[in-house]
Amino acid sequence: MVDSVQFYFDFSSPYSYFASFKINQTCESLGCQVEWKPILLGPLFNITGSAPLNTIPMKAEYCVNDWDRLARYMNVPWVLPKIFPIATQVAARTFYWLHERDHELALKFAKETFMTYFGHGQDISSSESVVGIAASLGVCDVELSFALSSETVKERVKYEVQAAQDVGVFGAPYFIVNGEGFWGSDRMWMIRRWIERDGW
Amino acid sequence: MVDSVQFYFDFSSPYSYFASFKINQTCESLGCQVEWKPILLGPLFNITGSAPLNTIPMKAEYCVNDWDRLARYMNVPWVLPKIFPIATQVAARTFYWLHERDHELALKFAKETFMTYFGHGQDISSSESVVGIAASLGVCDVELSFALSSETVKERVKYEVQAAQDVGVFGAPYFIVNGEGFWGSDRMWMIRRWIERDGW
Protein backbone atom coordinates (compact mmCIF):
# COMPACT_ATOMS: atom_id res chain seq x y z
CA MET A 1 0.00 0.00 0.00
CA VAL A 2 1.44 3.34 -1.07
CA ASP A 3 0.40 6.27 1.11
CA SER A 4 2.25 9.08 -0.57
CA VAL A 5 4.36 9.94 -3.58
CA GLN A 6 7.14 12.52 -3.47
CA PHE A 7 7.15 14.89 -6.43
CA TYR A 8 10.52 16.62 -6.80
CA PHE A 9 10.60 19.59 -9.13
CA ASP A 10 12.33 22.83 -9.99
CA PHE A 11 10.10 25.84 -10.63
CA SER A 12 12.22 26.50 -13.72
CA SER A 13 11.76 23.01 -15.21
CA PRO A 14 9.25 22.82 -18.11
CA TYR A 15 8.72 19.08 -17.78
CA SER A 16 8.02 19.60 -14.07
CA TYR A 17 5.43 22.19 -15.03
CA PHE A 18 3.72 19.72 -17.34
CA ALA A 19 3.87 16.97 -14.72
CA SER A 20 2.37 19.28 -12.12
CA PHE A 21 -0.96 19.19 -13.97
CA LYS A 22 -1.17 15.41 -13.80
CA ILE A 23 0.54 14.00 -10.74
CA ASN A 24 -2.12 14.79 -8.13
CA GLN A 25 -4.97 13.33 -10.14
CA THR A 26 -2.89 10.27 -11.02
CA CYS A 27 -2.06 9.52 -7.39
CA GLU A 28 -5.20 10.70 -5.64
CA SER A 29 -7.40 8.56 -7.87
CA LEU A 30 -5.51 5.62 -6.33
CA GLY A 31 -5.93 6.86 -2.77
CA CYS A 32 -2.42 8.19 -2.55
CA GLN A 33 -1.26 11.66 -1.50
CA VAL A 34 1.39 13.73 -3.26
CA GLU A 35 4.14 15.63 -1.45
CA TRP A 36 5.40 18.48 -3.61
CA LYS A 37 9.10 19.09 -3.02
CA PRO A 38 10.73 21.98 -4.87
CA ILE A 39 14.47 21.53 -5.35
CA LEU A 40 17.22 23.31 -7.28
CA LEU A 41 18.55 21.55 -10.35
CA GLY A 42 21.82 23.52 -10.43
CA PRO A 43 23.63 21.56 -7.69
CA LEU A 44 22.36 18.25 -9.10
CA PHE A 45 23.50 19.14 -12.62
CA ASN A 46 26.97 19.72 -11.19
CA ILE A 47 27.03 16.07 -10.15
CA THR A 48 25.68 14.57 -13.38
CA GLY A 49 27.43 17.01 -15.70
CA SER A 50 24.06 17.95 -17.12
CA ALA A 51 22.92 21.40 -18.18
CA PRO A 52 19.68 23.27 -18.88
CA LEU A 53 18.07 21.63 -21.91
CA ASN A 54 17.96 24.83 -23.93
CA THR A 55 21.75 25.19 -23.73
CA ILE A 56 22.52 21.77 -25.26
CA PRO A 57 23.13 21.67 -29.03
CA MET A 58 20.37 19.84 -30.93
CA LYS A 59 18.49 18.92 -27.74
CA ALA A 60 17.59 22.59 -27.29
CA GLU A 61 15.71 22.80 -30.57
CA TYR A 62 14.01 19.48 -29.90
CA CYS A 63 12.85 20.47 -26.44
CA VAL A 64 11.51 23.86 -27.43
CA ASN A 65 9.31 22.13 -30.00
CA ASP A 66 8.43 19.33 -27.58
CA TRP A 67 7.25 21.74 -24.88
CA ASP A 68 5.09 23.52 -27.41
CA ARG A 69 3.41 20.34 -28.69
CA LEU A 70 2.98 18.97 -25.14
CA ALA A 71 1.21 22.17 -24.12
CA ARG A 72 -1.05 21.98 -27.17
CA TYR A 73 -1.81 18.33 -26.46
CA MET A 74 -2.52 18.93 -22.77
CA ASN A 75 -4.35 22.16 -23.52
CA VAL A 76 -2.48 24.11 -20.85
CA PRO A 77 -1.08 27.63 -21.07
CA TRP A 78 2.52 27.71 -22.26
CA VAL A 79 5.11 30.29 -23.13
CA LEU A 80 8.88 29.87 -23.16
CA PRO A 81 9.93 32.72 -20.86
CA LYS A 82 12.40 35.24 -22.28
CA ILE A 83 14.73 34.58 -19.36
CA PHE A 84 15.05 30.83 -19.06
CA PRO A 85 16.12 29.01 -17.00
CA ILE A 86 15.91 31.19 -13.94
CA ALA A 87 17.01 31.11 -10.30
CA THR A 88 14.30 29.53 -8.17
CA GLN A 89 15.74 29.71 -4.66
CA VAL A 90 13.30 32.38 -3.54
CA ALA A 91 10.30 30.46 -4.84
CA ALA A 92 11.50 27.26 -3.17
CA ARG A 93 12.15 29.04 0.13
CA THR A 94 8.69 30.56 0.03
CA PHE A 95 7.13 27.18 -0.69
CA TYR A 96 8.71 25.47 2.33
CA TRP A 97 7.99 28.43 4.61
CA LEU A 98 4.34 28.35 3.56
CA HIS A 99 4.25 24.57 3.83
CA GLU A 100 5.14 24.68 7.50
CA ARG A 101 2.07 26.84 8.02
CA ASP A 102 -0.49 25.56 5.55
CA HIS A 103 -0.01 22.63 3.14
CA GLU A 104 -2.87 23.66 0.88
CA LEU A 105 -1.65 27.22 0.62
CA ALA A 106 1.85 26.02 -0.29
CA LEU A 107 0.36 23.88 -3.05
CA LYS A 108 -1.65 26.83 -4.36
CA PHE A 109 1.48 28.95 -4.30
CA ALA A 110 3.43 26.32 -6.25
CA LYS A 111 0.76 26.07 -8.94
CA GLU A 112 0.47 29.85 -9.19
CA THR A 113 4.26 30.21 -9.44
CA PHE A 114 4.46 27.65 -12.24
CA MET A 115 1.61 29.44 -14.04
CA THR A 116 3.22 32.84 -13.62
CA TYR A 117 6.44 31.62 -15.18
CA PHE A 118 5.44 29.10 -17.83
CA GLY A 119 1.82 30.13 -18.35
CA HIS A 120 2.42 33.89 -18.55
CA GLY A 121 6.19 34.14 -19.04
CA GLN A 122 6.64 36.44 -16.07
CA ASP A 123 9.54 36.57 -13.64
CA ILE A 124 9.58 34.32 -10.57
CA SER A 125 13.22 34.81 -9.58
CA SER A 126 13.13 38.04 -7.58
CA SER A 127 11.83 38.37 -4.04
CA GLU A 128 9.49 41.05 -5.29
CA SER A 129 7.89 38.74 -7.85
CA VAL A 130 7.56 35.81 -5.48
CA VAL A 131 6.19 37.90 -2.63
CA GLY A 132 3.70 39.35 -5.11
CA ILE A 133 2.47 35.87 -6.04
CA ALA A 134 2.13 34.89 -2.39
CA ALA A 135 0.38 38.15 -1.56
CA SER A 136 -2.18 37.47 -4.28
CA LEU A 137 -3.04 34.32 -2.32
CA GLY A 138 -3.55 36.26 0.89
CA VAL A 139 -0.09 35.85 2.41
CA CYS A 140 1.19 38.85 4.41
CA ASP A 141 3.94 40.36 2.24
CA VAL A 142 5.76 41.93 5.17
CA GLU A 143 5.93 38.68 7.09
CA LEU A 144 7.09 36.72 4.05
CA SER A 145 9.71 39.30 3.07
CA PHE A 146 11.10 39.14 6.59
CA ALA A 147 11.14 35.33 6.51
CA LEU A 148 12.97 35.25 3.21
CA SER A 149 15.96 36.97 4.75
CA SER A 150 16.24 34.38 7.50
CA GLU A 151 19.07 31.85 7.45
CA THR A 152 16.70 29.12 8.65
CA VAL A 153 14.52 29.54 5.58
CA LYS A 154 17.55 29.51 3.29
CA GLU A 155 18.99 26.44 5.01
CA ARG A 156 15.73 24.54 4.56
CA VAL A 157 16.08 24.59 0.79
CA LYS A 158 19.72 23.49 0.99
CA TYR A 159 18.62 20.68 3.27
CA GLU A 160 15.88 19.58 0.86
CA VAL A 161 18.24 19.58 -2.13
CA GLN A 162 20.76 17.48 -0.22
CA ALA A 163 18.02 15.14 1.01
CA ALA A 164 16.76 14.75 -2.56
CA GLN A 165 20.25 13.92 -3.77
CA ASP A 166 20.62 11.41 -0.94
CA VAL A 167 17.60 9.47 -2.19
CA GLY A 168 18.83 9.50 -5.79
CA VAL A 169 17.14 12.54 -7.32
CA PHE A 170 19.29 13.85 -10.20
CA GLY A 171 16.75 15.62 -12.41
CA ALA A 172 13.21 16.93 -12.50
CA PRO A 173 10.47 15.99 -12.40
CA TYR A 174 11.43 13.02 -10.28
CA PHE A 175 8.98 10.92 -8.32
CA ILE A 176 9.50 8.48 -5.49
CA VAL A 177 6.95 5.75 -4.82
CA ASN A 178 7.80 3.60 -1.80
CA GLY A 179 11.50 4.14 -2.37
CA GLU A 180 11.31 3.54 -6.12
CA GLY A 181 12.42 6.46 -8.30
CA PHE A 182 10.82 7.58 -11.55
CA TRP A 183 12.37 10.29 -13.67
CA GLY A 184 10.46 12.37 -16.17
CA SER A 185 6.97 13.53 -16.97
CA ASP A 186 6.63 10.61 -19.40
CA ARG A 187 6.56 8.10 -16.58
CA MET A 188 3.09 8.86 -15.21
CA TRP A 189 1.83 5.50 -16.55
CA MET A 190 4.59 3.67 -14.71
CA ILE A 191 3.92 5.50 -11.44
CA ARG A 192 0.24 4.59 -11.72
CA ARG A 193 1.05 0.91 -12.21
CA TRP A 194 3.62 0.93 -9.44
CA ILE A 195 1.08 2.35 -7.00
CA GLU A 196 -1.60 -0.11 -8.11
CA ARG A 197 0.61 -3.18 -7.79
CA ASP A 198 3.33 -1.97 -5.41
CA GLY A 199 5.97 -2.88 -7.99
CA TRP A 200 5.92 -5.75 -10.46
CA MET B 1 -1.32 10.43 -44.14
CA VAL B 2 1.91 8.98 -42.77
CA ASP B 3 3.49 6.26 -44.93
CA SER B 4 6.56 5.46 -42.90
CA VAL B 5 8.31 6.17 -39.63
CA GLN B 6 12.09 6.25 -39.30
CA PHE B 7 13.40 4.42 -36.24
CA TYR B 8 16.95 5.51 -35.42
CA PHE B 9 18.79 3.32 -32.94
CA ASP B 10 22.19 2.17 -31.77
CA PHE B 11 22.62 -1.58 -31.23
CA SER B 12 24.24 -0.69 -27.89
CA SER B 13 21.31 1.41 -26.62
CA PRO B 14 19.08 -0.34 -24.05
CA TYR B 15 16.13 2.00 -24.62
CA SER B 16 16.42 1.30 -28.35
CA TYR B 17 16.28 -2.41 -27.56
CA PHE B 18 13.07 -1.93 -25.58
CA ALA B 19 11.57 0.27 -28.30
CA SER B 20 12.42 -2.33 -30.94
CA PHE B 21 9.78 -4.65 -29.49
CA LYS B 22 7.02 -2.07 -29.85
CA ILE B 23 7.59 0.25 -32.77
CA ASN B 24 6.55 -2.03 -35.63
CA GLN B 25 3.30 -3.06 -34.00
CA THR B 26 2.54 0.55 -33.06
CA CYS B 27 3.02 1.82 -36.60
CA GLU B 28 1.81 -1.12 -38.65
CA SER B 29 -1.50 -1.22 -36.79
CA LEU B 30 -2.01 2.27 -38.23
CA GLY B 31 -1.05 1.26 -41.75
CA CYS B 32 2.40 2.75 -41.51
CA GLN B 33 5.75 1.11 -42.25
CA VAL B 34 8.87 1.39 -40.11
CA GLU B 35 12.36 2.02 -41.51
CA TRP B 36 14.98 0.76 -39.08
CA LYS B 37 18.10 2.91 -39.21
CA PRO B 38 21.05 1.90 -37.05
CA ILE B 39 23.35 4.79 -36.17
CA LEU B 40 26.31 5.33 -33.86
CA LEU B 41 25.68 7.39 -30.75
CA GLY B 42 29.34 8.25 -30.20
CA PRO B 43 29.59 11.04 -32.81
CA LEU B 44 26.22 12.46 -31.71
CA PHE B 45 27.24 12.46 -28.04
CA ASN B 46 30.28 14.51 -29.04
CA ILE B 47 27.90 17.23 -30.24
CA THR B 48 25.53 17.21 -27.27
CA GLY B 49 28.22 16.59 -24.65
CA SER B 50 26.31 13.51 -23.56
CA ALA B 51 27.78 10.18 -22.49
CA PRO B 52 26.69 6.57 -22.08
CA LEU B 53 24.06 6.48 -19.34
CA ASN B 54 25.96 3.99 -17.19
CA THR B 55 28.92 6.39 -16.93
CA ILE B 56 26.94 9.31 -15.50
CA PRO B 57 26.88 9.62 -11.69
CA MET B 58 23.42 8.94 -10.21
CA LYS B 59 21.80 8.44 -13.62
CA ALA B 60 23.77 5.20 -14.00
CA GLU B 61 22.22 3.58 -10.94
CA TYR B 62 18.79 4.82 -11.96
CA CYS B 63 19.03 3.47 -15.48
CA VAL B 64 20.33 0.05 -14.49
CA ASN B 65 17.27 -0.34 -12.28
CA ASP B 66 14.98 1.17 -14.90
CA TRP B 67 16.13 -1.27 -17.60
CA ASP B 68 15.54 -4.15 -15.25
CA ARG B 69 11.99 -3.10 -14.35
CA LEU B 70 11.14 -2.26 -17.96
CA ALA B 71 12.22 -5.75 -19.05
CA ARG B 72 10.13 -7.32 -16.28
CA TYR B 73 7.15 -5.19 -17.23
CA MET B 74 7.48 -5.95 -20.95
CA ASN B 75 8.35 -9.57 -20.25
CA VAL B 76 11.33 -9.54 -22.60
CA PRO B 77 14.76 -11.11 -22.05
CA TRP B 78 17.23 -8.72 -20.46
CA VAL B 79 20.76 -8.80 -19.19
CA LEU B 80 23.13 -5.88 -18.74
CA PRO B 81 26.13 -7.09 -20.78
CA LYS B 82 29.46 -7.25 -18.97
CA ILE B 83 30.99 -5.00 -21.63
CA PHE B 84 28.65 -2.08 -22.08
CA PRO B 85 28.37 0.06 -24.09
CA ILE B 86 30.09 -1.52 -27.03
CA ALA B 87 31.23 -0.54 -30.54
CA THR B 88 28.45 -1.18 -33.04
CA GLN B 89 30.00 -0.15 -36.34
CA VAL B 90 30.25 -3.72 -37.61
CA ALA B 91 26.65 -4.49 -36.75
CA ALA B 92 25.46 -1.27 -38.41
CA ARG B 93 27.53 -1.96 -41.53
CA THR B 94 26.12 -5.45 -41.75
CA PHE B 95 22.59 -4.15 -41.37
CA TYR B 96 22.85 -1.70 -44.27
CA TRP B 97 24.67 -4.23 -46.47
CA LEU B 98 21.91 -6.73 -45.85
CA HIS B 99 19.23 -4.08 -46.31
CA GLU B 100 20.38 -3.37 -49.84
CA ARG B 101 19.77 -7.03 -50.61
CA ASP B 102 16.77 -8.01 -48.51
CA HIS B 103 14.80 -5.69 -46.20
CA GLU B 104 13.22 -8.51 -44.23
CA LEU B 105 16.54 -10.23 -43.68
CA ALA B 106 18.08 -6.98 -42.43
CA LEU B 107 15.21 -6.61 -39.95
CA LYS B 108 15.68 -10.16 -38.73
CA PHE B 109 19.40 -9.51 -38.34
CA ALA B 110 18.73 -6.35 -36.31
CA LYS B 111 16.35 -8.17 -33.96
CA GLU B 112 18.76 -11.08 -33.57
CA THR B 113 21.66 -8.73 -32.88
CA PHE B 114 19.70 -6.88 -30.19
CA MET B 115 18.71 -10.22 -28.64
CA THR B 116 22.29 -11.51 -28.72
CA TYR B 117 23.54 -8.47 -26.87
CA PHE B 118 20.77 -7.49 -24.45
CA GLY B 119 18.86 -10.75 -24.32
CA HIS B 120 21.87 -13.05 -23.86
CA GLY B 121 24.66 -10.63 -22.93
CA GLN B 122 26.92 -11.84 -25.73
CA ASP B 123 29.34 -9.80 -27.80
CA ILE B 124 28.16 -8.02 -30.95
CA SER B 125 31.19 -5.79 -31.50
CA SER B 126 33.61 -8.10 -33.33
CA SER B 127 33.32 -9.06 -36.97
CA GLU B 128 33.39 -12.68 -35.90
CA SER B 129 30.35 -12.25 -33.63
CA VAL B 130 28.36 -10.26 -36.17
CA VAL B 131 29.14 -12.57 -39.05
CA GLY B 132 28.10 -15.45 -36.82
CA ILE B 133 24.72 -13.86 -36.18
CA ALA B 134 24.19 -13.22 -39.90
CA ALA B 135 25.32 -16.75 -40.78
CA SER B 136 22.73 -18.17 -38.39
CA LEU B 137 20.15 -16.42 -40.57
CA GLY B 138 21.50 -18.01 -43.74
CA VAL B 139 23.85 -15.24 -44.86
CA CYS B 140 27.06 -16.42 -46.54
CA ASP B 141 29.83 -15.70 -44.04
CA VAL B 142 32.54 -15.42 -46.67
CA GLU B 143 30.61 -12.88 -48.71
CA LEU B 144 29.73 -10.81 -45.65
CA SER B 145 33.27 -10.88 -44.27
CA PHE B 146 34.54 -9.64 -47.59
CA ALA B 147 31.90 -6.88 -47.70
CA LEU B 148 32.77 -5.69 -44.20
CA SER B 149 36.28 -4.79 -45.32
CA SER B 150 34.98 -2.60 -48.14
CA GLU B 151 35.22 1.17 -47.90
CA THR B 152 31.78 1.53 -49.49
CA VAL B 153 30.18 -0.42 -46.66
CA LYS B 154 32.05 1.61 -44.03
CA GLU B 155 31.12 4.88 -45.72
CA ARG B 156 27.45 3.96 -45.75
CA VAL B 157 27.30 4.01 -41.94
CA LYS B 158 29.14 7.33 -41.77
CA TYR B 159 26.67 8.68 -44.29
CA GLU B 160 23.70 7.45 -42.27
CA VAL B 161 25.02 8.96 -39.03
CA GLN B 162 25.56 12.31 -40.73
CA ALA B 163 22.14 12.14 -42.39
CA ALA B 164 20.56 11.39 -39.02
CA GLN B 165 22.32 14.35 -37.44
CA ASP B 166 21.16 16.54 -40.32
CA VAL B 167 17.51 15.78 -39.52
CA GLY B 168 18.01 16.45 -35.80
CA VAL B 169 18.74 13.02 -34.33
CA PHE B 170 20.85 13.44 -31.17
CA GLY B 171 20.04 10.31 -29.18
CA ALA B 172 18.41 6.90 -29.44
CA PRO B 173 15.83 5.68 -29.89
CA TYR B 174 14.70 8.57 -32.04
CA PHE B 175 11.72 8.47 -34.36
CA ILE B 176 10.70 10.71 -37.22
CA VAL B 177 7.08 10.92 -38.29
CA ASN B 178 6.54 13.19 -41.31
CA GLY B 179 9.47 15.36 -40.28
CA GLU B 180 8.48 15.49 -36.61
CA GLY B 181 11.05 14.06 -34.19
CA PHE B 182 10.33 12.00 -31.08
CA TRP B 183 13.07 11.03 -28.69
CA GLY B 184 12.89 8.09 -26.33
CA SER B 185 11.12 4.79 -25.87
CA ASP B 186 8.56 6.54 -23.64
CA ARG B 187 7.08 8.41 -26.58
CA MET B 188 5.31 5.51 -28.27
CA TRP B 189 1.94 6.99 -27.24
CA MET B 190 2.82 10.31 -28.87
CA ILE B 191 4.01 8.68 -32.09
CA ARG B 192 0.73 6.77 -32.26
CA ARG B 193 -1.33 9.94 -31.89
CA TRP B 194 0.84 11.85 -34.34
CA ILE B 195 0.30 9.16 -36.98
CA GLU B 196 -3.44 9.04 -36.30
CA ARG B 197 -3.96 12.77 -36.54
CA ASP B 198 -0.91 13.90 -38.53
CA GLY B 199 0.03 16.28 -35.72
CA TRP B 200 -2.28 18.20 -33.44
Spell out the per-residue pLDDT of chain B, length 200, in tens: 788 999 999 999 999 999 999 999 999 999 999 999 999 999 999 999 888 988 899 999 999 999 999 999 999 999 999 999 999 999 999 999 999 999 999 999 999 999 999 999 999 999 999 999 999 999 999 999 999 999 999 999 999 999 999 999 999 999 999 999 999 999 999 999 999 987 77
Q: Helix A151-166 crosses helix A41-48 at what angle (to 10 degrees)?
A: 40
CATH of domain B4-197: 3.40.30.10
The overall pTM is greater than 0.90? yes
* Positive or negative torsion for Cα B114, B115, B121, B126: negative
Beta-carbon contacts of A1 under 8 Å, excluding residues fewer than 6 positions away, are A198
Which of B48, B58, B66 has its CB closest to that of A47? B58
Q: What is the pLDDT of residue A142?
A: 98
Beta-carbon contacts of A90 under 8 Å, excluding residues fewer than 6 positions away, are A124, A125, A126, A127, A129, A130, A148
Q: Do the Cβ atoms of B73 and A181 come within 8 Å?
A: no
Q: Reply yes or no on whether the pLDDT at A2 is more than 90.
A: no
Complex prediction ipTM: 0.94
Q: Do the Cβ atoms of B186 and A187 come within 8 Å?
A: yes
User: Which chain A residues are closer than 8 Å to B188 by Cβ?
Assistant: none
What DSSP character marks residue B125?
Answer: S
The DSSP bridge partners found for residue B9 are B38
Q: Contacts by B141-147 with C-beta closer than 8 Å and gap 24+?
A: B144/B94, B144/B97, B147/B93, B147/B97
User: Which chain B residues are closer than 8 Å to A69 by Cβ?
Assistant: 200
Q: How confident is the model at residue A74 (pLDDT cuts 50, 70, 90)?
A: very high
pLDDT in tens, B58-99: 999 999 999 999 999 999 999 999 999 999 999 999 999 999
User: Which chain A residues are closer than 8 Å to B62 by Cβ?
Assistant: 168, 170, 181, 183
The residues on B that touch A, with CB distances below 8 Å, are 44, 47-51, 56-59, 61-62, 65-66, 69, 72-73, 165, 168, 170-171, 181, 183-184, 186-187, 190, 193, 200
